[in-house]
Structure formats: C-alpha cells, structure tokens
Amino acid sequence: MFEPPPVLPNVEWPYLQILVRLALSLALGLLIGLERERRGKEAGLRTFGFIALLGALGGSLGVAFALLILALVGMLAVLLNVQTLRAGQGTELTTSAAMLVTCVAGILCGQGHTISPAAVMVIATALLAWKERLAGLSTGLTEGEMRSALLLAILAIVIYPALPAGPVGPWKLVDPRAAWVTVILIAGIGFVNYILWKLYGARGTELSGFLGGLVNSNFTVIELSSRVKQSPGGTVDSAYRGILLATSAMIMRNATLLLILAPLALLGSLAAFALMLATSIAIVMWSYGRRRHRLGEKSPEIKLELPFSLPLALKYGVVFLVLHVVGGLTQRQFGDVGFYFVCVVGGLMSSASAVAAAAALASQGSISPSVAGTGAVLASFTSLAFSLSFVLRTRNPDLVGKLVRATLCIAVAGILGLLIWGSVRPIVTQWIPELARLEGGL
C-alpha cells in the first residue's frame, strides 16, 4: 500500500491585514505608473502596479521571496533596456531605477510598513514629474551656489559630530551642538527657500518678495526699495505688496523656528504671530482689490545673494551665541525685562538668530516658554522697524505712507495677540501640565 503524501505546511494570512498591505502597494505603484504612462513610457500604469503587488507579496512571504522578486524585477529592467536599445531609443535608466524603487516600496508594504514606502514613492514620483524643472535648475546653478550647497553639507555632516555634547563653559550657558543645530537649521531654511525663489521667483514681484523674505527679509526690502528709487513710476504698488509679503514670510519663518526648537514657546506667541500674519495678508489682499492695471507697468526685480556662505554661517553662529549668552545673563541679573531688551537689540542684527536664541534658552529651562515667545515677537517687531528704515530712504511719500500705516497695523495686531495670550494664559496652563510646570518653576 502507498503511504499518503505528506501535508505541506499552510500559513493563513489575516485577510484584512494583507488586503490593506496589497491595496497600499497597488496605490503607490499606480501613482508612479501614472506618471510614466503620461510620458509614453513602455513600462506604465499596469507594469508598475504589478511590480508593486509582486513586491508586497514577496515582503509578506519572507526575506527569501522578497530577494527573489527583487532579482526578477531587476531582470525585467534589463529586458526593458535591451528592447529600447534594439529599437534605437537609447536606455531607460530612469524608468529602470523607478521599477526597482517601486519593488522595494512594495516589499516594505508587504512587511507592514506604511509611512516610509508612501514617502519614498511620493518623492520618487516628484523626481520623475519635475524632470524638466530639476534639469533647468541643475544647468542654471552657478559655481558659487554649488559651493554653498557643499559648505552646508560639510557644516551639517562633518563639523557637527566633532562638537562636544552638552553645555560647556564656567556658567554652562553654551551647548555647542545645540547652537550648531540652530545655525544649520536657519541656514538650511534659507537655502531651501533660495531654491524655491530660483524656481518660481521670476514669475512676479509679489511671489519674489515672499520667497525672498523667507531667505532674508531685510535684503528683500532693500532690493525692492532700491528699484522704486531708481524708477518710481509704476513700481510702487508691486513693491508695496512685495515688501508686505516679505514681512509675512519673516513672521512665518520666525514662528516655524519656535515650532521646531521650542513648541511650548510658540504657544505663548501663537496669537501674536497669527494676528500679525493675518493682518499683513489682509492688507495685501485689500491692495490687490484696489489695484488698477496701468499700461506699461513695470515690476521691480529682486536679485538675492548666494543662499549660504561661510561669512553668513559665521554671522548666524556669532549672533546666536552672543544673544544666547547675553540673553541668559541679563535674564539672571535683570529678569525678564533684561531678556526682552536683548531680543529687541538682537532683532536689528538677525531676527531669526534672536528667535532661535530665545527658543534655545526656553528648551534648556533658562527662561519660561511664555517669556521666550514674547521675546520672539519683540525681535520680529524690531525687524519690522528695521526694514521700514530702508523704505524711508526712497523718499517716496506714496510708498512710505502706505508702509508706515501697514507696519503700524501689523504691530498693533501683534500687541493685541500678546494681550490675548496674557488673558488666556491661566486657562491654558491648567490644560497643559507641562507648560504649568515650566512656567511655575522659573
């Protein structure tokens, strides 16, 4: 008699769980496949959908199957290139790389990952969709801009790990690594926004003013004011809106720095920053509503300097360290009033560095989050006044009058926001125990 064949092991997958993984992988594959299909590539919507599903199945079955499917997709990419070469169309290296990335993302989905494969596929699709724009950006890069990018990478990757960790010095006021992270953060925000300005800034003075304000609001105001001084005709209205949008960008940048470095400090200044930003945008929209198109109206151009350089890095570092140390000492000796004075003075040199120093002191527990938030708002006030001084040099009564009124409205909105926080602060501290502990312990 024949013995019955051995029963193979059977693994039962949770239906809903595996269905969600397969659906996510298919959606991500179709996303990148849609972009390839739109460009008329051989590997399009269905091919990338199948590759993502194969990767998800391999990731669900185990490491051995995942590697096998990845190898099969690699062979498929080779066959695709052979076919295009025979047709005289050249190689499809970009599509082949996208196929491998899709397979790996599908494997991650099959293993239960969600955020990481989705982020990778969105980035990959963006790289494919922005081919022309990225190519134009790379060919338009100057040698100085390339050096700026390399210098930023050196400061972040090479110098940062070599710095000592923890506070140093006799009073333990300076943390070199924390200070360097702040410098890299400010410079990195400026660099990214400089790239955005390179991509979109030439489309209009208002957009250039906003993106330029994210890089350096004072320099943007100087540029727009100088253009008005050179040709005061039809440039006043566009320069007026550009300066206001540069101010809005400065407010957004300072609030973002607080959010990243000391979120509780932003809570104390959120009402002030929100009202200042809303007032600035409302004035810009009102100006748009009153705009009258005039024949031959010229828009002033903005020419920003390099996004990042060694002198700029040293400036950020020195200003941050000085404000950090002096702010801490004056707060110890003269209380909150002394710290506020340092923030006001620091806003003349660099409002971003002043805000970062306030956030760093709050994160270290040297000052309360509310004091840090108020100091950040005061530094923004100083930056507003400093920018207005450049506009006064144009001696254009129309532009000066408009911006003085707009600046006063923005400042009043900020003061109103600080008063609102002062009234609701006892209620908020009851809701947030961590904030109450920090406020009460200082």
Per-residue pLDDT of 196-237, as tens digits, reads: 666 655 455 566 667 666 666 766 777 677 666 655 555 677
Residue type, 273: F
Measured distance CA(404)–CA(9) in Å, rounded: 80
Instruction: Say what percent of the chain tops pLDDT 90.
Output: 16
Mean model confidence pLDDT for the chain: 76
User: pLDDT band at 161, cuts 50/70/90?
Assistant: confident
Q: Is 415 exposed, middle or buried (0-12, 13-18, 19+ CB in 10 A)?
A: middle
Measured distance CA(305)–CA(54) in Å, rounded: 49
Measured distance CA(213)–CA(383) in Å, rounded: 12
Measured distance CA(356)–CA(315) in Å, rounded: 14
Q: What is the largest CA-CA distance in the chain?
A: 110
Q: How many other β-carbons are positioned within 10 Å of the β-carbon of residue 43?
A: 22
* Region 19-47 average pLDDT: 89
pLDDT above 90 for 314: no
Measured distance CA(68)–CA(245) in Å, rounded: 54
Tokens 């410098």: give the residue.
183
State residue 41 phi and psi, 5-degree precision. Answer: -80, 155
Handedness of CA 358, 363, 367, 372 (dihedral sign): positive
pLDDT in tens, 41-96: 878 889 999 999 999 999 998 889 999 999 999 999 898 888 888 887 777 888 88
